[in-house]
Structure 1
Amino acid sequence: MVFLNTLDYTLIFGLFAIILIVGVYTSRKAGKSSEEYFLSGRNMPWWLLGLSMVATTFSTDTPNFVTGIVREKGVSANWEWWAFLITGLLTVFVYAKLWRKSEVGTDMEFYELRYGGKPAQFLRGFRAVYLGVIFNVIAMSAVTLAAIKIGQVMLGISPEMMVTIAGTITVVFSAIGGFKGVVYTDFILFFVAMSGAIGAAYFCISLPEVGGMDGLMSHNNVTNKLNILPDFSDSEAIITLLIIPLAVQWWSSWYPGAEPGGGGYIAQRMLAAKNENHAIGATFFFNIMHYALRPWPWILVALASLIVFPDITSIQEAFPNISEDKLGQDLAYSAMLTKLPNGLLGLVMASLAAAYISTISTHLNWGSSYIVNDFYKQQVNKNASEKELVNVGRIATVILMVCSASFSLVLTDATQIFKIILMFGAGTGLIFILRWFWWRINAWSEITAMFSSGIISILFSFTSVGTYFFDHTDTVTGNLVSGVLPAWSKFPIVVLITTVVWLVATFVTKREKKEVLFKFYKKIQPGGPGWNKVIEEAKEENQHIVTDTAKWSVPNGIIAMLLGCLFIYGCMFATGYWIYGYYDKAIPITVMTIVAGGLLIKLWSKIKVNVL
C-alpha cells in the first residue's frame, strides 16, 4: 500500500476534472442526434482517431496481461498478441477504405447492406447483443479486474469500493459526452498514460535491487526471459507462440480491436473519419504505436519485477491484504508501482486512471451504439426520435457498466479472459475477410460459424470431451494430465471444424438475392475475381454496377501489408535491441526498417484514395 501526498492527489483529481469538463462541453452537441452521439458527425481527422485507438487499447488490464505472460514465459510470449499486427495491417491497407465507403452507422449495420431478408435481420440483432453486451461485458470486466488489483495493491481499497469509484466516474463521463467526448479525452489520456508508463519503467529499472539496465540484463531471474523470439530448440514454444499465432490465429479468430477485416470499436473510428484516407491513416498510426513502441515500458517493468518479486509467494508476503482469488503473476505490475516516489506515483496513478477511463468509455459507447442502432431501433421502436435514441444509448451505457463491474468481482486473472475470447471467436475470422470479396458468402455462413465456434469451444474447454482429447492441468492436484492430443492443437482444431461447417452451410443454403448483391457491389466497389459472376449477371440484366474502373487495389494492399509488417516488426525489434544494448542486432534491423518504410511510402501513392 502506498501513501499519496498533495501533489499526487492534485495530478489525479486534476485529470478527473479535465475529463468531466470535456464530457460536459461535448454533451450538448452529442445529444443532437444518434450519429453525433456515436460517430461525431463522421468528420474526425486521422491523427485524433489514431490516438484514440491507441488510448483505448492502453487499458489497465494490458500491462497486467503483459507482465503475467512475461513472468511466466518470457518476452517472446507476447507473440500471442503481436501476431495480430497482420490482421491490423490488412485492415489498414485493404479494409479501412471499404468500411468508410459503406457509410453504415455501426459494423452491425453492414449485415443488412451485404445480406438480405430475415437471416440478415436476425444476424444484425443477435450479433449486436452477442458482441455489444455479452462479449463487451467480458472485455470490460477484465479491465475492471485490473483496476481492482491496482486498488488492492496500491491503495488497500476493497474490490467493491474500487469498482464503485472507477465505474461511477467513467459512466457519468461516457453517458453525457458521447463519442466526441471519448475521442477528445483520449487525446489527453494518451499522453498522460504514455508518460506514466515510461516514467514507471525508468524508475523501476533504477531501483537499487534492480541495479539499472546492467543489473537487469545480467540477473539470473531475467536472462532466460529476454529473447524476443521463442527458443527454436523448444518445439512446443515455437508451435504455441509463433507458428499458430502467425499461421492460423491472426486470420481465423475474432478478438476486440483485432478483428479480421476490421470491426468493433476500430470500425467505429474508421466510420467516423473524414474520408477513406483518414480512415487508413488512423489505423496505420494505431498499429505502429500499439505494436512497435508502447509494449516496451510494460515489458521492462515486468522483467524488473522478476528481481523484486521473484514469485507469487513474495507478492503475497508483501501485500497480505490481497484476496486469494485475485493472486496471480499479473499482480507484479501493480506491486512494482508501489516502489515509485511521490509525484511520479501521482502521475502513474493518473495514467492508470486515464487508461481505465479511455478503454471503458470506448467500450461503453461502442456497446451502446449496437444496442441503439442494431437492436432497439430495429427490433423495438423503428420510429424512435433522435432524442429517444440518445437517451436509450445513455441508459444502455449505465447498464453495461453495472454488468461488467459485477462480473469483474468473480474473475481472477487477465490471461484467462484473453484465452476465452480467443477460443470463442476461433474459425470465424476467415468469413470477415472473404465476405467483402466473395459473392457466395451469405448470412447463414456467418450464423453457422458463430454458433459452431461457440458450441465447439464450450465442448472442448468446459466439458469432459475436452479433458479426454487434450492435455490439461488437473484443477485439484495441479498435475499435467495427458489426453489424446497435445493442448496446443485445441485452437487449430476448433478453427478447422468451424471453417468446414460454415463452408458446407454456405453451399447448401440459398445464395443472396441478386438485388442485394448488385446494391452492395455498386456502393462498395470491392472488385476482384470473387465478384465476376455477379458482374456478369448484372450485365445480362443491363444494370451498371461497376463504377470504379481503376485497377483492383487489393494486390497492392497485400504488398503494403507485408511491407508494413516488416516496418513495424522492425521498429519493435530495433527498439528492444537498442534498449537491451544489443547494438550488433539493433543497427542492421534499424536499416532494414528504414528501407521497408521507404518502400511503403512509395507504394502509398498507389493505394491512396482520390477524394477531392
Structure 2
Amino acid sequence: MSKFATIDIVIFVIYFFIVAGYGYYIYRKKKKAVSDTHDFFLAEGSLTWWAIGASLIASNISAEQFIGMSGNGYSIGIAVAAYEWIAAIALIIVAVWFIPVYLKNKIFTMPQFLKTRYNETVALIMAIFWLFLYVFVNLTSILFLGSLAINNLMGGSPVTFEIIMIALSVFAVIITLGGMKVIGFTDVIQVGVLIIGGLATTYIALIVVSKAFGFGENAIEGFNQLVKNAPDHFHMIFAKPVPGTPQHQVDNYLTIPGLLSYVAGIWIINLNYWGCNQYITQRALGADLQTARKGILFAGFLKLLMPIIVMLPGIAAYVLHQKGMLQAEMAIGSKHGEVMSDNAYSAILGYLPNGLIGLSLAALTAAIVASLAGKANSISTIFTLDVYKKYIKKDADEKGMVWVGRITIIAALIIAIAFTWNDTLGIGGQGGFTYIQKYTGFISPGVFAMFILGMFWKRTTGAAAVVGVITGFLMSVLFNIFAPRWFGPETILYTAYKNADGNYEIPFHICMGLAFGFTMLVMILVSLGGPKINPKAFALDKTMFKVSPGVLAMIVVTLMIISMLYVRFW
C-alpha cells in the first residue's frame, strides 16, 4: 500500500520543477555548452569551490549510500561509517597531492593521464575497463537500489519498480544533457535537499525509537536507546573471529575486517575512488588549484555528516525490528519472508508524517539522479574524448563530439535499465553497497598502483603499467575466488572464513591489499629494467604541494573531528 499523501506528491513535484527549471536556466545562460567540449564535459572555469564540493557529495551520495549503507547500518552498524570518515582523510590527500599533478599537466580525463604518463595502450585498456565498470556496476546498482526504495514506499509492485527505474533515468538524462555546468550547479540544490531531507529522516527515526521505548518524542533519548539496545552496532573495529564466533559476526568481519581494513583495503577504495576516478575528479579538473582544493576539502567536511544521514536510520530499523516492529517492511521483495537489509531505509521512511515523506523522497531522488547524471556524464566524457575522438573519428569537430556525448549518455542508461530490469546481476542478493565495493575492488588495486607510481615515481614505465593493470585484476580474481580453494583457508598471507553459504572467503578488503601489494612489487621490478628517469615522467616541485593558511585550517578541523569520532566509537 502506498504511503504517499497528496502533500507528498506536491512537494516532490515542486522539487522536480525547481531542479529541472534551474538546470534549464543555467543551460540557457551558458549557451557555450552546446558546442564546447571542455565546457560540456568539465564546466571549465565556471564552478565555484562550494559548487565543486556540493557536486562531489551529490554525485557520491546515492542509492548505494541511502539504501546500501543504511542496509549495512542495519546488519553491521557504525563500522561501515569508516567508508565516509576515511574518505574525508582521502580527500585531504587528493586535494594536497593529487590535484596539483593533474592541473599542472592539464589532465582532463583519467585515460588521458595514462596516455600522457605511460602510453596509448594503457589508456585504451583502462578506458574500456572504466566504461564497463561505470555501466554494469555503478549505473545498474544506483538504478536498482533507488527504484527498490521508492517502490517499497509505493507498495512494492514489480510494474511500479520498472516505471520508477525508467522515470529516474529520464530525470537524469534531463539534467545530464546540459553538460557538467548544469550538473554542477543543480547539484548545489540537490545536496541541500539531500542533507535537509536526510537529517529530517534521521530525526524522525530517533523519535520513533524513543517513543517505542516509552520516552516520548526525544531524539537524544532515541539515540541512547540505539546504543543501549544494539551495543554491538556501535563499534568501529571488529574482533577477529575465533572458533565458535556467531555467523553474523563472521559475516560482519568479512565486510569490515577490523584493523586490517585500515592497513590497505579501505585506503585503496577511497584513494582510488576520490583521486583516480573520472566520475569524481572531473568536478575539480576545470578549476584553478585554490578553488579545486577548497571544493574538495568542503566535500570532505560534508562526508563527516553522511553516516548520520545514511547509517543511523539503518540502525534504528534494526532496533525497531528486534522489538517486533517493521516485520512486513523488512521482508518486502524477499522470496521466503526473510529480512532484506536494503529495505531498512524505506521502512523508516514509512514512519514519517505526510509532507516529510515527500521531502525525504525528494532527498533520495536527488541523491539518485545526481549520481546517475554524474556517472553518465563521465561515461560520455571517457567514450567521446578517449575512444571516439582518438579511434573512431579523429577529425570530429566540437559540436559533433558534444552530440556523441549526449547519445552516449542515453545509450549507457538504456543498457543499465536492461541489466537492472530483473536484477540480472544479482545486486539485491548481497546488499547493494557491498556489491559496489566488492566488484569495484577487482580493478581498484591495479588502477591505484598505476596512478600512485605514475605520479610520484619517475622511473615507472609504460610496460610496468600494462603488466600492473593485468596483475592487479588477476590477483583480485585469485584472492577473491580461488585462493581458499587452491591454497586452503589459512596461509601466511591470509585467513579465510566460512561465509553464510558455508564457503571459505577472504575479506575483500584484505584481497584488495594483497592484490595491490603484488601489483606494486611487479610494477617496481619491471620498471627497474628501464631508465632511471622515464621520459614521460611528470615534472614535480615542492611548491605544487604547499597549501594556503585557509586550506590548512580546513584540514586541521577535519582531522580533529575524525579523531574525536574514533576515540568515542572505537
| TM-score interval (norm. to shorter) | 0.7 to 0.9
User: In 2, are the aligned partners of 1:108 and 1:124 still within 8 Å (CA)?
Assistant: yes
Q: Given the superposition, is the C-alpha separation of residues 319 and 304 from structure 1 closer, same or farther in structure 2, using an over 3 Å criterion?
A: closer
Q: Given the superposition, is the C-alpha separation of residues 445 and 557 from structure 1 closer, same or farther in structure 2, using an over 3 Å criterion?
A: farther
Correspondence for 2:515: 494
- When normalised by structure 1's length, the TM-score is 0.78
Q: Given the superposition, is the C-alpha separation of residues 24 and 362 from structure 1 closer, same or farther in structure 2, using an over 3 Å criterion?
A: same
User: In 2, are the aligned partners of 1:253 and 1:428 still within 8 Å (CA)?
Assistant: no
Q: Aligned with 2:284: secondary structure?
A: helix
Distance 2:169 2:507 in 1: 41
Correspondence for 2:146: 147
User: In 2, are the aligned partners of 1:31 and 1:37 still within 8 Å (CA)?
Assistant: yes
Distance 1:333 1:380 in 2: 45
Q: Aligned with 1:431: secondary structure?
A: helix
Does structure 1 residue 570 correspond to structure 2 residue 569? no
Does structure 1 residue 71 correspond to structure 2 residue 111? no
Q: Aligned with 2:328: secondary structure?
A: helix
TM-superposed deviation, 1:566: 6.0
Distance 2:142 2:224 in 1: 31
Correspondence for 1:132: 131
TM-superposed deviation, 1:219: 5.4
Q: Given the superposition, is the C-alpha separation of residues 472 and 238 from structure 1 closer, same or farther in structure 2, using an over 3 Å criterion?
A: closer
Q: Alignment partner for residue 333 of structure 2, among 322, 327, 340?
A: 322
Correspondence for 2:173: 171
TM-superposed deviation, 1:22: 3.3
TM-superposed deviation, 1:557: 6.6
User: In 2, are the aligned partners of 1:428 and 1:498 still within 8 Å (CA)?
Assistant: no
TM-superposed deviation, 1:465: 5.8
The residue type equivalent to 1:84 in the other structure is: A
User: In 1, are the aligned partners of 2:77 and 2:311 still within 8 Å (CA)?
Assistant: no
Q: Structure 1, residues 443-485: CA drift from partner, whole Å, max 9, x if none? A: 222222211121222233344765754435467xx33x558x7
Q: Aligned with 1:269: secondary structure?
A: coil
Q: Alignment partner for residue 376 of structure 2, among 347, 358, 364?
A: 364
Does structure 1 residue 92 correspond to structure 2 residue 95? yes
Correspondence for 1:248: 264
Q: Given the superposition, is the C-alpha separation of residues 453 and 188 from structure 1 closer, same or farther in structure 2, using an over 3 Å criterion?
A: same
Distance 2:397 2:240 in 1: 63
Correspondence for 1:340: 352
Q: How does 1:31-110 map to 2 (within 5 A)?
A: 31-80=34-83, 82-110=85-113
The residue type equivalent to 2:274 in the other structure is: A
User: In 2, are the aligned partners of 1:293 and 1:572 still within 8 Å (CA)?
Assistant: no
The residue type equivalent to 1:102 in the other structure is: N
Correspondence for 1:453: 472
Q: How does 1:188-199 map to 2 (within 5 A)?
A: 188-199=189-200
Distance 1:564 1:379 in 2: 43
Distance 2:400 2:318 in 1: 53
User: In 1, are the aligned partners of 2:72 and 2:314 still within 8 Å (CA)?
Assistant: no
Correspondence for 1:403: 415
Correspondence for 2:399: 387
Correspondence for 1:580: none
Correspondence for 1:533: none
Q: Given the superposition, is the C-alpha separation of residues 179 and 428 from structure 1 closer, same or farther in structure 2, using an over 3 Å criterion?
A: closer
Relative to structure 2, which stretch is displaced further, 161-170 or 277-286? 161-170
User: In 1, are the aligned partners of 2:464 and 2:523 still within 8 Å (CA)?
Assistant: yes
Correspondence for 2:247: none
Q: Given the superposition, is the C-alpha separation of residues 96 and 574 from structure 1 closer, same or farther in structure 2, using an over 3 Å criterion?
A: same
User: In 2, are the aligned partners of 1:372 and 1:393 still within 8 Å (CA)?
Assistant: yes
Q: Structure 1, residues 50-97: CA drift from partner, whole Å, max 9, x if none? A: 111111112122022322222222212322553333322111112222
TM-superposed deviation, 1:320: 5.8
Q: Aligned with 1:258: secondary structure?
A: helix
The residue type equivalent to 2:259 in the other structure is: I
Correspondence for 1:184: 185
TM-superposed deviation, 1:286: 0.7
Correspondence for 2:293: 280
Distance 2:135 2:41 in 1: 16
User: In 1, are the aligned partners of 2:70 and 2:310 still within 8 Å (CA)?
Assistant: yes
Correspondence for 1:547: none
Q: Given the superposition, is the C-alpha separation of residues 423 and 497 from structure 1 closer, same or farther in structure 2, using an over 3 Å criterion?
A: same
Name the count of aligned residue pairs. 535
Q: Structure 1, residues 161-185: CA drift from partner, whole Å, max 9, x if none? A: 221111122123312x111110111
TM-superposed deviation, 1:421: 1.1
Does structure 1 residue 504 correspond to structure 2 residue 494? no
Q: Given the superposition, is the C-alpha separation of residues 488 and 40 from structure 1 closer, same or farther in structure 2, using an over 3 Å criterion?
A: closer
- When normalised by structure 2's length, the TM-score is 0.84
TM-superposed deviation, 1:30: 1.7
Correspondence for 1:419: 438
Q: Aligned with 1:271: secondary structure?
A: coil
Paired-residue identity, %: 20
Q: Alignment partner for residue 284 of structure 2, among 256, 270, 274?
A: 270
Distance 1:428 1:319 in 2: 38
TM-superposed deviation, 1:111: 2.4
Q: Aligned with 2:110: secondary structure?
A: coil
TM-superposed deviation, 1:329: 1.2
Distance 2:190 2:234 in 1: 31
Q: Alignment partner for residue 362 of structure 2, among 350, 356, 359?
A: 350
User: In 2, are the aligned partners of 1:36 and 1:179 still within 8 Å (CA)?
Assistant: yes
TM-superposed deviation, 1:187: 0.7
Runs of 4+ more than 4 Å apart: 231-242, 253-256, 313-316, 463-468, 485-489, 509-513, 551-554, 556-566, 572-577
TM-superposed deviation, 1:354: 0.7
Correspondence for 2:225: 218
TM-superposed deviation, 1:109: 1.4
Q: Given the superposition, is the C-alpha separation of residues 200 and 252 from structure 1 closer, same or farther in structure 2, using an over 3 Å criterion?
A: closer
Distance 1:469 1:233 in 2: 18
TM-superposed deviation, 1:576: 9.4
Distance 1:427 1:253 in 2: 12
TM-superposed deviation, 1:13: 1.3
Distance 2:416 2:396 in 1: 27
TM-superposed deviation, 1:189: 0.6
The residue type equivalent to 1:339 in the other structure is: Y
Q: Aligned with 1:161: secondary structure?
A: helix
User: In 2, are the aligned partners of 1:442 and 1:506 still within 8 Å (CA)?
Assistant: yes
Q: Aligned with 1:384: secondary structure?
A: coil
Q: Given the superposition, is the C-alpha separation of residues 125 and 46 from structure 1 closer, same or farther in structure 2, using an over 3 Å criterion?
A: same
Correspondence for 2:492: none
The residue type equivalent to 1:317 in the other structure is: A
Distance 2:148 2:180 in 1: 28
Q: Aligned with 2:528: secondary structure?
A: helix
Q: Alignment partner for residue 237 of structure 2, among 230, 233, 242?
A: 230
TM-superposed deviation, 1:380: 0.8
Q: Structure 1, residues 374-421: CA drift from partner, whole Å, max 9, x if none? A: 111011111101111001000100111122223333321211221221
Q: Given the superposition, is the C-alpha separation of residues 572 and 342 from structure 1 closer, same or farther in structure 2, using an over 3 Å criterion?
A: farther
Correspondence for 1:376: 388
User: In 2, are the aligned partners of 1:316 and 1:322 still within 8 Å (CA)?
Assistant: no
User: In 2, are the aligned partners of 1:428 and 1:499 still within 8 Å (CA)?
Assistant: no
Correspondence for 2:315: 303
Q: What are the ranges of 5 or more consecutive residues in structure 2 without an aligned counterpart?
A: 243-249, 490-495
TM-superposed deviation, 1:196: 0.5
